Amino acid sequence: MSLHADEFFAELRLPFHDHAVVGNTYLAAPTPGAHLRLRIDFTRTTYADTYGGIRLAVVHPDRGEIDAVALSFLDHGTFDRRDMASNRPLDNSTRATFNKHHRPGQPPWAEAEFVGLRDAIEQYTTVWFPGAWTASAPNRAAARSAHMAPAPPTPRGARTR
């Protein structure tokens, strides 16, 4: 399955100018001149071609992987809106995941909300790559206000699902 990982990572709007997507992996040098690199992969679930999050790793060219963390889509609300709209029960195995099945013309992660995931990536990478997010601060604030708009109030007496 082609994930179109480059499109997924583009939607995350990570601020690292020196980066590449190879296959389904995002590779970056967040701090110019430093040896440490960032690698982001998708985490698999028990089901084939189904992904439940991403795994961030800090890699040194000589020492290999130094540190890693898995960020689940469930913990970061990535698919909460989609799952609530489709009335997916909390115990549904497809909750907070995406797979190769999707509507034509839409990516597999359609309706994803990336703010929580992006905030977690920023928090993790700030420890290892201080100052790497400074350039993206204005774009991030605009994205947060656009994605975090409150829902319109429900009229009195209206039934909700």
Q: How far does Cα 85 stand from its chain's mean position?
A: 20
Average pLDDT, the chain: 83
Each domain of the chain, given as residue ranges in start order, spans 5-147
* CA distances, 62 to each of 36, 39, 65, 134, 141 (Å): 10, 15, 9, 28, 37
> What are the pLDDT digits (tens) for 59-118?
999 999 999 999 999 999 999 998 888 888 777 777 899 887 777 888 889 889 999 999
Contacts of 87 (CB under 8 A, 6+ apart): 161
The whole-model pTM stands at: 0.80
pLDDT over 80 (residue 129): yes
pLDDT the model gives residue 10: 95
Which pLDDT score is estimated for 2? 57
Mean pLDDT for the stretch of residues 114-123: 96
Burial of 143 (0-12, 13-18, 19+ CB in 10 A): middle
Mean pLDDT over 125-143 rounds to 71
Contact of 79 with 73, CB cutoff 8 Å? yes
pLDDT attached to residue 70 = 98
